[in-house]
Amino acid sequence: MMIKVGQGFDVHQLVNGRKCIIGGVEIPFHKGLDGHSDADVLLHAIADAICGAAGLGDIGKHFPNTDPSIKNIDSRDILKKVILLIQEKKYSIINIDATVICELPKLAAYIDLMKNNIALDCNIDIHAVNVKATTTETLGFAGRGEGIAAQAICLLESK
């Protein structure tokens, strides 16, 4: 058995006129995340971590923002497709740990829903998923409310 680790990072700008979707959960907020997809920073960071651990590059390679056929794609679909890619390579997820970085919206009430979505989409036990939310104490773009970032790490094992 081989064990591999991958890390992922994503950031999207907060803008008017878009939904705020994080971890596959629509968060009530006056701004949303801008991007080619639904701009779910958490799922993008997780998908990148999984791709990295499996040596598959990043989600930009598999889901380029220049492809009009995937405009506004649901990031849960991106994550599910990444899971199919690692299954083809005979990998399975041991665990995922991720952090969302933003001042607002406050996410504590939504963490369990996010974890459930991630576990379902990755076909893993919910106890193998950890999601945290933190602020930057008003520093930087996240602290000024200009965007939201996420980072993730994933441990894979070969089957």
Residue 154, pLDDT > 80, answer yes
Amino acid identity for residue 86 in this structure: I
The reported pTM is 0.97
Q: What is the pLDDT of residues 29-46, one digit of tens each?
A: 999 999 999 999 999 999
> Any known ligand binding at 138?
no
| 65 assigned binding-site residue | yes
Q: Using the predicted structure, report yes or no on whether residue 150 has a pLDDT greater than 90.
A: yes
Over residues 74-87, the pLDDT tens digits come to 999 999 999 999 99
Question: For residues 24 and 13, is the Cβ–Cβ distance under 8 A?
Answer: no
Ordered by start, the domain boundaries in the chain are: 2-158
Token code pair at residue 66: 């220049």
Dihedral, CA atoms, 8, 79, 41, 157, nearest 10 degrees?
A: -20
Domain 2-158: give its CATH code.
Answer: 3.30.1330.50
Residue 70 confidence (pLDDT): 87
**Is 136 labeled as ligand-binding?**
yes
